[in-house]
Structure 1
């Protein structure tokens, strides 16, 4: 595939316009605001950066890379195994519902795009009883022949951007603060992506207790804007 077309496809996958409803989720950040743990630009930056390095960077990111490798090798059994592992790793009901809903929406988009190069991905996810968002996202990225390192960087950027947008609404923060947060996170993302690609599966870990507690407590939060 033409490198410029690969870039355009990657920007499409990482865009907030991707119709999967990511903007409706905060992944526990809203409860962190409610509890006072996140209260300003500095504390929002610490919360998101800690999750980037110690949460998504050490589990979801290497899993996305492994999924891309499995899709490229047409290893349906490995894709199914990694998909099940990710679903099982979601500690809170809202987190699990989030990835299943976004996965479902992305599966629907597979067909709406009417792209013959995605037919194999569509057929494979149809065989799975429930599909996690990273599974479908990695499948599309692999089918579009996007460089795995670039794909992983964009995946992390998309997650960070969504977290910052949630902070802008929930704290709330101004637009300039949001751009400062994104600039700081952007400096960290390349290193996190490289480290994730090198991390063996035996080293994967999503052990982030405060994050899990925040996600669980959000389920009974009285007043909220977000679904997680």
Structure 2
């Protein structure tokens, strides 16, 4: 007998996989400038930067947004989905960050058609009406359509973001593979508590106020030598 919860787990692993063809590996979200400016210079400083950003920005804005969007997708509340999509686009502090989420949202939307999964038909239809799609909007729609539990989805979303940041640090600092695994182990330890907070955080308490992150992202736009697109 097929176990629906096991299939949901497999689908979640697919959504969280680095193989998801959205180009996430090409972005550092300002981390490359943080390295250039000396804010990140070794394993310890990379861990502090990524951990603080996950706790105080991603975990308090993007993660609760994903959770709320999943509920809106389940209820097919199109007006609310569009509002939250617009709010996220407006929240991007630099041109690079905005371009990043729009490009990744576009790529994920294109993947919807390639997958040809009947379960995703409604998501494809709703996204077709949006001129610009933020990545969390498309990602949460797929997660909801695949009947992934919101708590699991938010934890996986945080993990995927942290993993991509660590991979960027490995290249930009640079760090060794063992250092990367130590960072992932510590960041992974933090994910459950951050996810739990995100799931319970009311919208009027969301915040992504991280000035150093915003400045690093903006400065990256004019960085002379770059490996990453943001």
> TM-score when scaled to structure 2?
0.99
Match of 2:160 among 152, 158, 171: 158
Q: How does 1:100-111 map to 2 (within 5 A)?
A: 100-111=102-113
For each residue in 1:89-138, what CA deviation from the matched residue of structure 2 results, as whole angstroms up to 9, or x when unmatched? 00100000000000000000000001000000000000011100000000
Q: Distance in 1 between matches of 2:148 and 2:32?
A: 33
SS at match of 1:222: coil
Q: Distance in 2 between matches of 1:52 and 1:195?
A: 12
Q: Distance in 1 between matches of 2:42 and 2:4?
A: 43
Runs of 5+ unmatched residues, structure 1: none
Q: RMSD in angstroms over aligned alpha carbons?
A: 0.6
Q: Distance in 2 between matches of 1:43 and 1:34?
A: 13
Aligned residue number for residue 202 of structure 2: 200
Aligned residue number for residue 18 of structure 2: 16
Aligned residue number for residue 40 of structure 1: 42
Shift of 1:164: 0.1
Shift of 1:141: 0.2
Aligned residue number for residue 169 of structure 2: 167
Q: Distance in 1 between matches of 2:112 and 2:185?
A: 32
Aligned residue number for residue 63 of structure 2: 61
Shift of 1:79: 0.3
Q: Distance in 2 between matches of 1:115 and 1:81?
A: 26
Q: How does 1:1-228 map to 2 (within 5 A)?
A: 2-228=4-230
Shift of 1:180: 0.2
Shift of 1:188: 0.3
Structure 1 runs (4+) deviating above 3 angstroms are none
SS at match of 1:79: helix
Q: Distance in 2 between matches of 1:132 and 1:125?
A: 10
Q: Distance in 2 between matches of 1:206 and 1:18?
A: 26
SS at match of 1:129: coil
Runs of 5+ unmatched residues, structure 2: none
Q: Distance in 1 between matches of 2:74 and 2:49?
A: 34
For each residue in 1:19-59, what CA deviation from the matched residue of structure 2 results, as whole angstroms up to 9, or x when unmatched? 00000000000000000000000000000000000010010
Q: Distance in 2 between matches of 1:115 and 1:62?
A: 27
For each residue in 1:190-227, what CA deviation from the matched residue of structure 2 results, as whole angstroms up to 9, or x when unmatched? 00000001100010001000000000000000001000
